[in-house]
Amino acid sequence: MSFSDYQYEIYLNGLAGQQPPYSTSFAELERVARERLEPGPYWYVAGSAGIGATQRANREAFDRRRIVPRMLRDVSVRDLGVELFGRRYPAPLLLAPIGVQSIVHPDGEMATARAAASLGVPMVLSTAASHTIEEVAEAGGPRWFQLYWPHDDEVTLSLLQRAAGSGYDTLVVTLDTWTLAWRPRDLDLAYLPFLRGTGLAIPFSDPVFRSRLERPVEEDLNGAIIQWAPMFNGRSHTWERLSLLRDNWDGPIVLKGVQHPDDALRAADAGMDGVVVSNHGGRQVDGATASLDALPAIAAAVGDRLTVLFDSGVRTGSDVVKALALGARAVLLGRPYVWGLAVGGEDGVRHVLRSLLAELDLTLGLAGHDGPAGLDPSALEAS
């Protein structure tokens, strides 16, 4: 079975008079999700920092780059698999860490995790999930853990221990969101799920965090939120403090949100294993450089010292091809799978993943490549 079989499946269902339950256009999927969701949840996901300049820049950067397909190559059989940190994955694709998924669907991260597991695609579980580290682990499948790094080292170590204990093998440390950005859509709706306790399943289930509280979460939600807020929001960490993580996590560590080659080099110096070139989908620094524009220089700077992953703006199979050609080893998909979740729960997420993987498989082949390994800048038009 190959990823592109999903194409046949859809057309064959068409023979039986059946159209796909969800659109294969992610823009259309978002439209439907928007109709079904309240403005708060919709905009929490769809929105961006400021006036959305970086969110648009992310897409324009993809649009500016162009693939040059090659013909008559032996690419009938393709293997999309990649090795990341010594482990083989079926495709150069991960699910980006997105929190509070229960605001768009009651099953939240559980549905996402099950969809990802059914395809063998690794999910990066957010610290801001609606379900606990342990619950999500039950879905099986490859799993990474994303850390919003608390300003309480014992809580940090407890989270790492729980993640490792539940089989999350890679740690993704988000650097770009130590404080929440200015997001006019959320502000106008005064909608911040965390202040209602949503997205706090992980700290609230944490024994060390709970030991910080005067009264149990269940009895005093506001007190717990008041404890949580300054621990997770408003203060930055520094390079020196990465040793805490390095010393307490055996698996690979990836820094997410890197946009400058010097920061990537510093990550290597600090013993990190990888970076995610990302601007958080335009949700943090409005006016920031497009993530794809930042990628080539970072990839060139770090060479083999780090595994470079990419995130921010991926919407199509050709986007994946472009990011890989510019130096990413794999990409993280964000908002589109949340629209899948919103319209179809686990099924909807699977549909989005299968669609993207099918498109990637076909695009890769039609461009003359039998897998990610063959991609380098020569796959694109010289810019």
The single residue of 151, 237, 260, 280 carrying the catalytic annotation is 280
What is the CB neighbour count within 10 angstroms for residue 37?
A: 20
Nearest alpha carbon to residue 339 among 17, 31, 95: 31
Would you call 165 exposed, middle or buried from its count of C-beta atoms within 10 A (0-12, 13-18, 19+)? exposed
At closest approach, how far in Å is the CB of 69 from its own copies?
5
Residue with smaller CB distance to its own copies, 227 or 363: 363
- In a 13 Å sphere around the CA of 351, the CA atoms on its Cβ side amount to 21
Q: 104 and 33 in contact (C-beta within 8 Å)?
A: yes
Looking at the DSSP bridge assignments, the partners of residue 145 are 125, 171
With tokens 């509280």, the residue in question is 213
What is the CB neighbour count within 10 angstroms for residue 113?
A: 27
DSSP 24: S
Look up residue 364 and give its two tokens.
């890769």
At closest approach, how far in Å is the CB of 48 from its own copies?
12
Nearest alpha carbon to residue 289 among 275, 277, 279: 279
> Which residues, 6 or more positions from 374, have their beta carbon under 8 angstroms from its beta carbon?
none
Known catalytic residue at 260 = no
Residue with smaller CB distance to its own copies, 139 or 320: 320
Residue with smaller CB distance to its own copies, 17 or 207: 17
Residue with smaller CB distance to its own copies, 133 or 253: 253
Q: How far is CA 302 from the centre of its chain?
A: 22
What is the CB neighbour count within 10 angstroms for residue 222?
A: 9
At closest approach, how far in Å is the CB of 173 from its own copies?
10
Residue with smaller CB distance to its own copies, 51 or 165: 51
At closest approach, how far in Å is the CB of 240 from its own copies?
9
- In a 13 Å sphere around the CA of 175, the CA atoms on its Cβ side amount to 23
Residue with smaller CB distance to its own copies, 124 or 258: 258
Residue with smaller CB distance to its own copies, 212 or 260: 260
Instruction: Give the pairing of strands 330-333 and 93-95.
Output: parallel
At closest approach, how far in Å is the CB of 79 from its own copies?
15
At closest approach, how far in Å is the CB of 24 from its own copies?
4
Cα separation, 84 vs 91, in Å, equals 10
Cα separation, 279 vs 49, in Å, equals 11
At closest approach, how far in Å is the CB of 83 from its own copies?
25
Look up residue 157 and give its two tokens.
């170590």
Identity of the amino acid at 328: A
Task: Name the residues annotated as catalytic.
Answer: 280
